């Protein structure tokens, strides 16, 4: 592992360099001084989504969802619970496909919810359908570490 990792702040989108050994010690953003890890999924728009995918040195797990989607609503607390367990080693973000139709089209989202895992800026896995917290964590870790 590198001595430090680039992590995008969920509050101001500044890129922070965090020593790998300090990932578990509640680092704060050098720009806005807010916690870099919140244990909660981050709602993103197109600009912040691209920055998180391109600039984070940790894997990014994305939930493509919509407000009108029943299974999406059922999975929302499961995804939040997964965030509290996967951070600081995986960043969880949400993309509302109604508000961000361009992102949904760019990534070929045909059904929601759809989870996509990005590593080093590239999609490495995709899974459609609602999942439990345990399944989200297991699928993510299995994909990242295999």
pLDDT digit string, tens, across residues 67-98? 999 999 999 999 999 999 999 999 999 999 99
Q: How many alpha carbons fall within 13 Å on the CB side of residue 75?
A: 27
Condensed to tens digits (0 to 9), the pLDDT of residues 105-139 reads 999 999 999 999 999 999 999 999 999 999 999 99
User: Catalytic: 69?
Assistant: yes
Residues 9, 12, 29, 72: which is the catalytic one? 72
CA 137 to chain centre: 12
Query: Please, what is the Cα angle at 102 between 108 and 92, to 5 degrees?
Result: 75
Q: What pLDDT score was predicted for residue 1?
A: 45
Q: What pLDDT score was predicted for residue 53?
A: 96
User: Catalytic: 12?
Assistant: no
Q: Which residues of 77-89 are buried (b: 16+ CB within 10 A; e: fewer)?
A: ebbbbbbebbbbe
Helix or strand holding residue 121 (H, E): none
Contact 90, 144 (CB under 8 A): yes
Q: What pLDDT score was predicted for residue 62?
A: 98
Bigger pLDDT: 62 or 143? 62
Phi-psi region of 130 (alpha: psi -120 to 50; beta: other; left: phi over 0): beta
Q: Answer whether residue 46 shows pLDDT above 60.
A: yes
Q: What pLDDT score was predicted for residue 145?
A: 79
Share of the chain above pLDDT 70, in %: 99
Q: Answer whether residue 2 shows pLDDT above 70.
A: no
CATH architecture for segment(s) 37-144: 3-Layer(aba) Sandwich (3.40)
For the chain, domain boundaries: 37-144
């Amino acid at each position: 592992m590198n001595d430090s990792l680039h992590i995008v702040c969920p509050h101001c989108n500044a890129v922070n360099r965090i020593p790998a050994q300090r990932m578990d010690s509640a680092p704060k953003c050098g720009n806005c001084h807010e916690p870099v890890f919140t244990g909660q999924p981050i709602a993103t728009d197109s600009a912040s989504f691209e920055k998180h995918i391109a600039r984070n040195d940790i894997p990014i797990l994305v939930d493509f969802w919509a407000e009108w989607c029943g299974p999406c609503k059922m999975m929302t607390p499961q995804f939040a619970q997964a965030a509290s367990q996967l951070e600081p080693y995986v960043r969880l973000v949400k993309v509302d496909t109604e508000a961000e139709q361009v992102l949904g089209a760019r990534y070929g989202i045909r059904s929601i919810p759809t989870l996509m895992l990005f590593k080093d800026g590239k999609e490495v896995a995709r899974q459609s359908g609602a999942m439990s917290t345990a399944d989200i964590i297991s699928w993510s870790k299995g994909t990242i570490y295999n």
